[in-house]
Structure 1
Amino acid sequence: MNITEPMFLALTALVDRPRHGYGVVQEVERLSGGRVQLKIGTLYGVLDRLSAEGLVELDREEVQRGRLRRYYRLTDDGAAALQAEAERVAANAAVARTRLRARHVALGGA
């Protein structure tokens, strides 16, 4: 499965506790330092895909102020997928940093 950045951040947002959709949006924005701002429609597409893959699941539903809130939680498979993706991204970043340092040295530190 190809994990996009919004999917990665949504999974990360659910690591510590279940959250409802807007809570995921807020946590993704916080985690990304404001760089990623999910629209609600995009978020539910992401959550539907993660749910279909078994990476997140419905935790509970609550009615608050007359509106239904669905809370999602990370599954064990979701935690494993997030761990694998984090390791893949870290390995790729390490290779890029190494090559950039070598380039810097080859250019005489310019």
Structure 2
Amino acid sequence: MGNKRIEVVSESMFYTLMAFLHGEYSGAEIASMVEKLTKGRVRLGPATIYTILGRFEEDQILMETRTEGRKRIYRITDKGVQMYHDEHDRLVQCLADAATWEEESK
């Protein structure tokens, strides 16, 4: 992972950030929440969610708040909240651009 900054937010990363806006959770809880929210369309397997959590923790997007046995609990940082809002705004703009393009193509 090193010093490489996250430049592209994947769909899995976006849903992970979104879930953390509502509280502190473990990786398994986030995976379950995302699967429920997307009605099974997005499934975060253990390798995916724990890779995302490790990267987000390293980049100070999330921080570990406590452990419960083997379970690590995380919360989103201010940097993570900003990252979520930036990506949200980018996606909204993409949809607006698509709507404009479709309308102009008629």
TM-score normalized with structure 1 length: 0.86
Asked if structure 2 preserves the Cα contact closer than 8 Å seen for 1:20 and 1:70, the reply is yes
Higher gyration radius (CA): 1
Give secondary structure in 2 for the equivalent of 1:25. helix
Give the unaligned 5+ runs of structure 2: 1-6
Query: Hey, what's the Cα distance between the residues in 1 that align with 2:73 and 2:33?
Result: 14
Q: After TM superposition, give the deviation of residue 41 of structure 1 in Å.
A: 1.2
Alpha-carbon displacement from aligned partner over 1:24-76 (angstroms, at most 9, x marks no partner): 0011112222110010111100111111111111011012xxxx111111001
2:42 is aligned with 1:36: yes
Give the unaligned 5+ runs of structure 1: none
TM-score normalized with structure 2 length: 0.89
Equivalent residue for 2:51, pick from 28, 45, 53: 45
Higher strand residue share = 1
Give secondary structure in 1 for the equivalent of 2:42. coil
* Partner AA of 2:28 in structure 1: Y
Query: Hey, what's the Cα distance between the residues in 1 that align with 2:18 and 2:37?
Result: 8
Asked if structure 2 preserves the Cα contact closer than 8 Å seen for 1:9 and 1:31, the reply is no
Q: After TM superposition, give the deviation of residue 2 of structure 1 in Å.
A: 1.3
Number of matched residues?
Answer: 100
Question: 2:62 matched to which residue of 1?
Answer: 56
Structure 1 segments of 4 or more deviating over 4 A? none
Asked if structure 2 preserves the Cα contact closer than 8 Å seen for 1:7 and 1:50, the reply is no
Identity, % of aligned positions? 30
1:22-33 equivalences under 5 Å are 22-33=28-39
Query: Hey, what's the Cα distance between the residues in 2 that align with 1:86 and 1:46?
Result: 18
1:1-110 equivalences under 5 Å are 1-63=7-69, 68-103=70-105, 106=106
